[in-house]
Amino acid sequence: MTAALESGSSDDPAMAFLAVVTGPPGAGKSTVAHALAARFDHSVLVPGDAFFGFLAWDAIVPWLPAADSQNEIVIRAAAAATGRFVAGGYATVYDGVLGPWFLPDFAAEAALDHLRYIILLPSVEQCVDRVANRLGHGFTDEDATRQMYREFARADINERHVLADLRGPADGTAAEIARRIQGGTLRYP
Amino acid sequence: MTGIQASGKSTVAQAVAERLERSVHVRGDVFRRMVVNGRVDMGPANPPEEAVRQLRLRYQIAAAVADQYASAGFAVVLQDIIIGIHLADMVSAINHRPLYVVVLAPSAEVVRAREDARRLAHGKVAYKPGDQDVAELDASFRRDTPRIGLWLDTSGQDVGQTVNEIIARLWREAKVT
């Protein structure tokens, strides 16, 4: 980690960036995303779930096919907010389910030419196990977890965006992601 | 929907949103809490420049998010502490029209009583030592906030009554251009 990377300052918009940390449920997104954001001086963690939380009425469970258009609306709103944090000079980490098929729209709505994209993809059993055993989280659907896992595993995306070895502590994973951000290998497009 | 801390915004906004179809409740405070490192909050009577910059950014983000949901056909209730000149700024930051402004303005005594009850029940404290006290904040809020939209003295009301009054008067009396 160099000083330049750690000094993401609000006075220097050039240091601002967006890193999307995604993956299926149970991949460890939230923990890693928080550890990643915490590495920078001026940083923001945007939890994608917050935008689903705004829905007061008529919300469809987001992993059902019928929720596609609702998901699109919610993700566009999330992208608009996320882009403004980046424009405001923050090292911005987005934590949420965001398949590569949605990246062009997300980047456009965020008004960004490019972003950093990382898919956390441990084994499917690790994901299922974590979803089944975590506390204080609304999502516990094993079939939906496996379905979303398959979608990420099959996604058309260069493997440099995929991090599969997640056995170490989240801080170590975050440090590895920060190194890759700096090295430019997570850049999309 | 705006008002000072503990004026009832969050509860009333959620209840209004639930009365509308296909609705969204955007809580502006969420965007403040998204800042992990480098956060500077408002609070003291003379906040640092960085706190004001972050407040403005939060308002711009809330406005953009509200616009996104509104343009997709949702009824949006955007709720935050937006006082003084910031209220006019927020009205300009929101592109969607029609736009309605509701200002919850219970008396300072009622706000203080609610704050005390909240502290006893949940340990939740809106007014920390060093902040302006309720009376002072209420006075500057009434003095500096432009008189736009529907101002409601909700002092004698419960949540249901406030929601009913808002729904009844919103369309004719709260519209801003």
ipTM (interface predicted TM): 0.88
Asked if the C-beta of A31 comes within 8 angstroms of chain B's C-beta atoms, the answer is no
For residue A8, what pLDDT band results from cuts at 50, 70 and 90?
Answer: very low
Asked if the C-beta of A187 comes within 8 angstroms of chain B's C-beta atoms, the answer is no
Least confident stretch, A33-37, A63-67, A150-154, B23-27:
A63-67
**pLDDT one-digit tens code per residue, A42-70:** 999 999 999 999 998 666 777 777 788 88
- What is the Cα–Cα distance from A63 to A61, expressed in whole angstroms? 6
Residue A52: list chain B partners with CB under 8 A: none
For residue A3, what pLDDT band results from cuts at 50, 70 and 90?
Answer: very low
CB contact under 8 Å between B34 and A38, yes or no, is no
Distance from CA of B127 to the nearest CA of A (A): 25
CB contact under 8 Å between A57 and B17, yes or no, is yes
Q: Is the pTM of this model over 0.95?
A: no
- What is the Cα–Cα distance from A165 to A120, expressed in whole angstroms? 8
- Structural domains of chain A, ranges and CATH numbers in brackets: 3-188 (3.40.50.300)
- Structural domains of chain B, ranges and CATH numbers in brackets: 9-176 (3.40.50.300)
Give me the half-sphere count of Cα atoms (radius 13 Å) on the Cβ side of residue B11. Answer: 14
Residue B20: list chain A partners with CB under 8 A: 56-57
* Residue ranges, chain B, pLDDT below 70: 44, 129-131
Residue A40: list chain B partners with CB under 8 A: 36-37
CB contact under 8 Å between A90 and B35, yes or no, is yes
